[in-house]
Structure 1
Amino acid sequence: MVEYIIIGISNNPAFSFMDEVKSILPLHSVFSGGKRHYELVKGYLPEGHVWIDIIGDMGRLIERYREFNQTVVVFASGDPLFYGIANTIMRLDTSAVMKVYPHFNSLQVLCHRCNIAYQHICNTSVHGRGWDELDIALISGYSLIGVLTDGVKTPSAIAERMLEYGFDNYSVIVGEALEGIDERISYLSLEEVGSSFNALNCVLLVRTVLKPKAFGIHDTAFAGLENRPNMITKMSVRLLSLSQLDLHNRTSFWDIGFCTGSVSIEAKKQFPALQVTAFEKRPECSQLFDINTRKHSTPGISKVMGDIFLQELKGQADAIFIGGHGNRLTELIALVDSHLNIKGRLVINAVKEESKEQFITGIQQLNYHLLDPITLRVDEHNPITILTAEKL
């Protein structure tokens, strides 16, 4: 078992530790942090100390810490519990005993500099990870969003993505080298965000206009297949189908045969944290999907093109909507069954009696419970039966 003391520090070369921390440092001999941290703290460390650089393989780093039969003092920027090294240590060394002395994190410092109250901020990070957290915050429409960036997902890349998906109702504040001698703060529109920033930067997104959010997107708001305007799951049917999928209790959703993407887009709009994967084999639907996801500001949906029967399916789903099956419905149910979690739901909108029979046959061959079917008719279209099965 390793004992850790984790100390958050400022980026200011003239910073000073609190008295309690100053009294702790001479009592220990093993210290760790980034190369930049060492330059800031080495004057406080006792003679003969050991320094372990934090670089690369974190698992190997934990093993290195364990080689010492004594407390390891780790230095980190800002708050070690805010997307920081303390979280990594707790994840990789579950028996660790830890004492944390935090400093302000960079987003807090930027709010302080700008006199922005941050009790309602939505903190996100794209540093060394995907866009998921930022996408969720943007779709949710938070009034203040903090973003930790990296060398690829820069302020410029963030602004470009936001404009691409229609999130033009935010202004941008970029904080560079905060608390350091090169500190700079820029107030920008999305269009004004350039590409030249100090590598140590973070971003605040400040909502300027509240965009209305509807419960249901009108069918005519989607770009559709040429000469086939009815090839879309109608709004009333779409919303009822999503209700049957019970998505507020799910984390992962598959939309098979997405066509225009209306079901996936509606699901993502209503449940921004939902992991949505959309499948389609018709090549002409790929561009429609891109057009519609951008038009309706729904980044983060995974698009999979090609025949699903030829795909190497990965991962698990909590809910699956079957929008198309190529007359192989029973086979499709058998195919996706191993990827649907227990208590997961399977939903189809059936127009033909044959589809109803195949769906029921498919679930009877497996371990499912059929919920009460719901039949409705939209305008002059044929009646549609929404069939829902729950995996036992």
Structure 2
Amino acid sequence: MNESTKIIVVGTGTGAPLADQARAAVAGAGLVVGGRRHLAAAPVPDTAERVTLGPLAPALEAIARHLEKGGAGPVVVLASGDPGFFGIVRALAERFGGARLDVRPGVSSVAAACARAGLPWDDAVVVSAHGRALRTAVNVCRAHPKVAVLTGPGAGPAELGAALADGPDGRVLVVARALGDPDAERFERVSPTEAAARDWGEAVNVVLCLDPARALGPVRTVAGPRTGPAGGWALPEDAFAHRDSMITKAEVRALALARLGPRLGELVWDVGAGSGSVAVECARFGTAVVAVEKTADGVGRIRANAAAHGVDVHVVHGVAPEALAGLADDPDAVFVGGGGADLPDVAAACARRARRTVVVALAALDRVPAARAALTGAGLDVDGVLLQSSRLAPLPGDVTRLAAANPVFLLWGVRPPATAEGVAL
């Protein structure tokens, strides 16, 4: 490939000076694109055209014009950290093709922040809030013990702290600012409440959200969040503490989980949670979970079950639907159990706020029409099934019979695509 048609992408690291090879590339460039501080620090020749990065589209057009006219010297793009990690490499590869790029990465801000904290980051979940919805980052922080949040305007430490102030106990925010700048670098540990009360300025690179007790996880084979719950899902009832068999049975839970579709970055409510078996199973998928339970002993069981399975579940002691008014964040999905006379009203309240789906479990035939009407009345497309299962049970003489479980109706309502709100990961 002709040198003048190449795009050399140089990651400047976290304040480290450009390597000799990168300086040579800049010195021979025909067009240099970068942020104001990057251009000021680089040996850009007087003969080269300069484009200061602001909005991305004008910079891409300038690169395209340079390539079309075959200008003297290659294009050099200066970027912070590792430009292939939530950086400009994606946009350049989409527009000009990866074969044209010569990428020379620096140290990413996430790697640098974790190094300053003395932590490995192969088990960290990294989420970008730069130009994206903050709720995804908040939900990931609620569900995972080590999260690196790439910040942006309106999505910095203060906003993150405010959203997490009533989140899991013990979370610490580590705010890394001006990484690599020997005069301005700051690395501070604060509580979410303290972060919310501060004005952090514009130099924040990344925020680590840590559960200090679990921040140093076990040795991993695959980096990032776990891809699914260890040991499968729809766990047996004896995997949970419960009262008098008052627990959503494994067969029902399996279909409920399939319809809820819990995933990383989302929020699930388990309303009328009982033992919290559905809440815990959703949390094992990496979802942020709020469990609403009216009994004090039920609240204790949910917390004990969450701790036993090593997940975070935020438990609210209250009676639905009234207790739902105190939940500020709308859920992506809701599971409604409990089966009381007020279940249709609870289902309706949940359906009005659910972004994606509501699943309702009912044992009483008489309440199915009202629950279905509650979901359809909120604009959801409704379907359902009667689940009847029989389990193998031993008989004397080393033989086996089928023991029938109580039948359960499972209804689910899905928000139509035209009105559903997606979550960008």
Both proteins in one fold, TM over 0.5:
yes
Offset at residue 30 of structure 1 (A)? 1.1
- Does the C-alpha gap of structure 1 residues 252 and 162 become closer, same or farther in structure 2, counting only changes over 3 Å? closer
Amino acid at match of 1:301: P
In angstroms, what is the RMSD of aligned CA positions?
Answer: 4.9
Q: 1:270 aligns with which of 264, 284, 289?
A: 284
With 102-111 and 245-254 compared, the bigger mean Cα shift is at 245-254
- Matched residue pairs, number? 317
Match of 1:65 in 2: 63
**Structure 1: distance between partners of 2:136 and 2:267:** 21
* 8 Å Cα contact 1:178-1:184 kept in structure 2: yes
Describe how 1:231-380 pairs up with structure 2 within 5 A: 236-237=247-248, 240-245=251-256, 247=258, 250=261, 265=279, 268-273=282-287, 287-289=322-324, 291=326, 301-302=331-332, 321-322=359-360, 326=370, 332=376, 347-348=384-385, 373-374=388-389
* 8 Å Cα contact 1:7-1:74 kept in structure 2: yes
With 264-273 and 150-159 compared, the bigger mean Cα shift is at 264-273
- Does the C-alpha gap of structure 1 residues 171 and 332 become closer, same or farther in structure 2, counting only changes over 3 Å? closer
Match of 1:179 in 2: 180
Per-residue CA deviation, residues 185-207 of structure 1 (Å, 9 max, x unaligned), is: 22223343341223121222232
Match of 1:29 in 2: 30
- Does the C-alpha gap of structure 1 residues 238 and 160 become closer, same or farther in structure 2, counting only changes over 3 Å? farther
Amino acid at match of 1:87: R
**Structure 1: distance between partners of 2:282 and 2:91:** 30
* 8 Å Cα contact 1:255-1:263 kept in structure 2: no
Match of 1:204 in 2: 208
**Structure 2: distance between partners of 1:65 and 1:177:** 29
- Does the C-alpha gap of structure 1 residues 110 and 387 become closer, same or farther in structure 2, counting only changes over 3 Å? closer
* 8 Å Cα contact 1:32-1:75 kept in structure 2: yes
Amino acid at match of 1:162: L
Residue 164 of structure 1 aligns to a residue whose secondary structure is: coil
* 8 Å Cα contact 2:34-2:51 kept in structure 1: yes
Match of 1:369 in 2: none
* 8 Å Cα contact 2:10-2:104 kept in structure 1: yes
Match of 2:107 in 1: 104
Offset at residue 132 of structure 1 (A)? 5.0
* 8 Å Cα contact 2:179-2:185 kept in structure 1: yes
- Does the C-alpha gap of structure 1 residues 7 and 327 become closer, same or farther in structure 2, counting only changes over 3 Å? closer
Amino acid at match of 1:175: A
Match of 1:157 in 2: 159
- Any unmatched runs of 5+ in structure 1? 221-233, 277-283, 341-345, 349-355, 357-371, 377-381
Offset at residue 116 of structure 1 (A)? 3.1
Residue 40 of structure 2 aligns to a residue whose secondary structure is: helix
- Any unmatched runs of 5+ in structure 2? 216-228, 291-318, 335-345, 362-367, 392-404, 413-425
* 8 Å Cα contact 1:256-1:321 kept in structure 2: no
Offset at residue 118 of structure 1 (A)? 3.0
Amino acid at match of 2:160: I
Residue 146 of structure 1 aligns to a residue whose secondary structure is: strand
Per-residue CA deviation, residues 335-378 of structure 1 (Å, 9 max, x unaligned), is: 866xx9xxxxx545xxxxxxx5xxxxxxxxxxxxxxx73389xx
**Structure 1: distance between partners of 2:160 and 2:277:** 26
Amino acid at match of 1:244: L
* 8 Å Cα contact 1:136-1:272 kept in structure 2: no
Per-residue CA deviation, residues 81-125 of structure 1 (Å, 9 max, x unaligned), is: 121111233345556621211111122222333433333332222
**Structure 1: distance between partners of 2:251 and 2:13:** 52
Match of 2:54 in 1: 55
* 8 Å Cα contact 1:375-1:383 kept in structure 2: no
Amino acid at match of 1:98: L
Offset at residue 145 of structure 1 (A)? 2.2
Amino acid at match of 1:86: V
Offset at residue 322 of structure 1 (A)? 4.5
Amino acid at match of 1:63: E
**Structure 1: distance between partners of 2:169 and 2:267:** 28
Asked if 1:131 corresponds to 2:134, the answer is yes
Match of 2:297 in 1: none
Per-residue CA deviation, residues 300-322 of structure 1 (Å, 9 max, x unaligned), is: 723899979x99x99xx7x8635
The percentage of counterpart residues that share the same residue type is: 17
Offset at residue 3 of structure 1 (A)? 3.8
Asked if 1:80 corresponds to 2:88, the answer is no
Offset at residue 47 of structure 1 (A)? 1.8
**Structure 1: distance between partners of 2:287 and 2:268:** 19
* 8 Å Cα contact 1:173-1:188 kept in structure 2: yes
Amino acid at match of 1:52: V
Per-residue CA deviation, residues 150-180 of structure 1 (Å, 9 max, x unaligned), is: 2322212222222222x22222222211222
Offset at residue 243 of structure 1 (A)? 0.5
For normalisation by structure 2, the TM-score amounts to 0.58
For normalisation by structure 1, the TM-score amounts to 0.62
Offset at residue 137 of structure 1 (A)? 3.5
Offset at residue 32 of structure 1 (A)? 0.9
